Amino acid sequence: MTESSRSCKDGPAGRLPRQGVRGRPVGEELRSRAVLAVVEEGMTVSAAARRFGVSRDSVDSWVKRFRERGHVRRDPMGGRASRIEPERERILRILRAQPAISMYGLRDALAAEGLVFGASTVQSFLKRNGLERERRLARLGTRRRRWTER
């Protein structure tokens, strides 16, 4: 096989190497190329899936979306609204009142107020809102820690 004939087909058996990571959305360019191979080149869905290193079901749904909507853009990813976000001011009040409180202590303080969250939920909230623990040991020579906004 010459170098010029390998320009588009780098993987084994003439396939492109796997493009995406399982469970992650595939880029719009790859989706478009796969759909064009089916719609314009007349390639089968299975052949296009092999060629672009994605599942047959993915290519099938992209072709269907293209025929119905005229585009291959993905829908917004799922998820749900966080229950802890509306409690931001309450959390900040607790952190101001008790600057040395641990993340688990914060979780327990919220539970005492009737708000039960898992430790990972509290940790994710703190990270998402730019709240990090400042190690005061290096700055003040004390073992106390406090929460600060970045």
Element (H, E) at 147: strand 145-149
The number of CA neighbours under 13 Å toward the Cβ of 33 is 14
Please write the tens of the pLDDT for every residue from 79-127. 777 899 999 999 999 988 888 888 899 999 999 999 999 999 999 898 8
Which among 92, 96, 123 has a CA at the least distance from the CA of 107?
123
Domains of the chain by residue range = 4-69, 85-149
Q: Check the CA dihedral 20-23-24-30 and report its sign.
A: positive
Please write the tens of the pLDDT for every residue from 21-70. 566 778 899 999 999 999 999 999 999 999 999 999 999 999 999 999 99
The third-level CATH classification (topology) of the domain covering 4-69 is: Arc Repressor Mutant, subunit A (1.10.10)
Is the overall model pTM greater than 0.75, yes or no?
no
Residue 131, classed as helix, strand or coil, is: strand
pLDDT at 76: 78
Residues in the chain: 150
Give 85-149's CATH code, choosing from 2.60.40, 3.40.1350, 1.10.1220, 1.10.10: 1.10.10
